[in-house]
Structure 1
Amino acid sequence: MLELANLDGFYGRSRALQSVSLSVDTGDFFSILGRNGVGKTTLLRTVLGLMSRTTGSVRLDGRELIGLPTHERACAGLGYVPQGRGILPAFTVRENLMVGTFAAQSAHGDIAEWVLELFPILKEFINRRGGNLSGGQQQQLAIARALLSQPKILLLDEPTEGIQPNIVEQIEQVLIDLNRDKGLTIVLVEQNLKFARRASNRFAILNRGSVAVDGKIAGLTDDLIHEHLVV
C-alpha cells in the first residue's frame, strides 16, 4: 500500500528525516513510536509533501508521489489528521466536513451518513462553528473530515493527545473498528503505548530521524520500550 525508500525530509538546509525505508501493507494498523522530537510528525509531513525539500521515494499503490503537490497526494488516497486537528474555526461542522469531500474520487460535497454515525455529536452540532467545539469534538470532526476524502490510507498524528478520557476511548474504538471491520489501512503516530499495542499489528520506532527498529507488534518488548521510549 505505502512504500517509503531512502526518504529524507528537510527543513530548509537541515535534514530532519534520514534515509527512512518502511513498508505498510494493505489493511495494516501501523504505529510510529518514539520520544518527542525524534521525527514522527516530520515523517508524516514528508509523506504528504509538506517539507521544504524531500528526496527518496514515496509510493502509494505503486504510484510515485514524490514531486506531486500535497493536494494531489490527498486525491491519490492519502488522508491526514494533523496534530492540532487543523479545524477551520469559522466554518460550521458541515462546511468543515464538505472540505474533506473535495479530495474524494466521487461524491464531492456529499457527507456520507455512515461517517456521521461514527461520531453522533457531529450530526447534533452540524451547524455549529468548528471553533466552538471542544477539543475532543474537534478531533472527531478532523477524523470524519479525513474519512470523507475516501482515503486508501489514513495518517493520524497523536489523535488522542489532550482529549478527555471518555472521548479518547470512543476515538480509539472507532479507529480499531475502521481498520478491522472496514479494512482501512492506518498509520498512527502515538505516545499512548497501551493503545498502540492494542490496535496495531506492526510498528516502527524512530530515533533522530531514522528507523531504530520495526516489526510485528508482538516484537514491541518491554526492553525495547525502555531503550527507545522511556524518558
Structure 2
Amino acid sequence: MLELSDVDGFYGRSRALQSVSLSVREGEFLTVLGRNGVGKTTLLRTILGLMSRCAGSIRLDGAEINHLPTHMRARAGLGYVPQGRGILPSFTVRENLLIGTFAAEKPARTIPDHIFDLFPILKEFLGRRGGNLSGGQQQQLAIARALLSEPKILLLDEPTEGIQPNIVEQIEDVLIDLNRKHGLAVILVEQNIKFARRASHRFAILNRGSVALSDDIGALSDELIQSHLVV
C-alpha cells in the first residue's frame, strides 16, 4: 500500500533521513522504533511532505505522491496524529473534529456515530474547548480527527507519551481494533515496547536517519532491544 524507495528528508541543507526504503502492506501494523533523535518523527514528516525537501520515491497504492503537497497527500489517504497532538486549543471538540473531515473525499457536516463509539468521552465534551481537555482526552480527539479524514494509512507519533495509564490502554485497544477488525493500516512511532509487541505485525528500527533493521515483530528480541533501543 505504501512504499518508500531510497527516500531522503532534508531540514534546509541538512539530510536528516538517508536512503530509507520501507513498505507497509494493506491492513498491516508497522511500528517504528529507535532512540531519541534518530529520525522517527522525521520519517513521518517526510512521508507527509512536511520537510524542507525530500528525494526518492513515495508511492501510495502504486501512485507516486512525493511530488504532492501535504494537503493532497492527506486527500490521497494519509492520516496523521502528530507528537504533541496538534489540536486547536481555542476550537471546541466539535470544531476540531469537523476540521478532520476536510481531508476526506466528501467533507462531512456532521460527525458519524462510530467516532463516539470509539471515544465516548468526546460526545460528552463536544462544546468544550480543546485546550480545556486533559492530555488523554486531547489524544483521543487527535486520533478521532485523523480518522474523520477517512485515511487508508494512519500515522501516529508516540500517541501514548505523557498519557495516564488507563487512557493509554483505551488508545491501544482502539488502534488494535481499527487495524484488526477494520483493516486500517498503521505506522506507529512508539517507545512502548510492550505496546509494539502487542499491536504490530512488523517493526523497523531507525538509527542515524537510516533503517538499521526491519523484520516481523516476533524477531524483536530482548537482545535487539538492548542493542538498538536501550540508552
Equivalent position of 2:68 in the other structure: 68
TM-aligned CA deviation for residue 110 of structure 1: 2.7
Aligned to 1:32, the other structure's residue is in SS state: strand
TM-aligned CA deviation for residue 109 of structure 1: 2.6
Aligned to 1:102, the other structure's residue is in SS state: helix
TM-aligned CA deviation for residue 52 of structure 1: 0.3
For residues 185-196 of structure 1, what are the structure 2 equivalents within 5 Å? 185-196=185-196
Give the AA of the match of 2:77: G
Equivalent position of 2:152 in the other structure: 152
For residues 1-231 of structure 1, what are the structure 2 equivalents within 5 Å? 1-231=1-231
Name the CA distance, whole Å, in 2 between partners of 1:229 and 1:45. 21
Name the CA distance, whole Å, in 2 between partners of 1:132 and 1:33. 31
CA-to-partner distance for each residue in 1:22-51, whole Å, 9 max, x for gaps? 010001010000000000000000000000
* TM-score (norm. length: structure 1): 0.99
Name the CA distance, whole Å, in 2 between partners of 1:51 and 1:80. 15
Name the CA distance, whole Å, in 2 between partners of 1:109 and 1:2. 30
TM-aligned CA deviation for residue 105 of structure 1: 1.3
| Structure 1 contact 204–212 (Cα < 8 Å) conserved | yes
Give the AA of the match of 1:116: F
TM-aligned CA deviation for residue 194 of structure 1: 0.3
CA-to-partner distance for each residue in 1:46-95, whole Å, 9 max, x for gaps? 00000000000111111111111100000000000000000001110000
Give the AA of the match of 1:49: G
Name the CA distance, whole Å, in 1 between partners of 2:9 and 2:110. 35
CA RMSD of aligned residues (A): 0.6
Aligned to 2:27, the other structure's residue is in SS state: coil
Name the CA distance, whole Å, in 2 between partners of 1:107 and 1:73. 16
* TM-score (norm. length: structure 2): 0.99
Give the AA of the match of 1:92: T
| Structure 1 contact 102–109 (Cα < 8 Å) conserved | no
- Alignment: residue pair count: 231
Aligned to 2:188, the other structure's residue is in SS state: strand
| Structure 1 contact 101–110 (Cα < 8 Å) conserved | no
Name the CA distance, whole Å, in 1 between partners of 2:110 and 2:69. 24
Give ranges in structure 1 of 5+ residues lacking alignment. none
TM-aligned CA deviation for residue 107 of structure 1: 4.5
Name the CA distance, whole Å, in 1 between partners of 2:108 and 2:223. 48
Name the CA distance, whole Å, in 2 between partners of 1:76 and 1:110. 21
Give the AA of the match of 1:47: I
Give ranges in structure 2 of 5+ residues lacking alignment. none
Name the CA distance, whole Å, in 2 between partners of 1:43 and 1:110. 33
| Structure 1 contact 9–18 (Cα < 8 Å) conserved | yes
Aligned to 2:162, the other structure's residue is in SS state: coil
Name the CA distance, whole Å, in 2 between partners of 1:228 and 1:93. 39
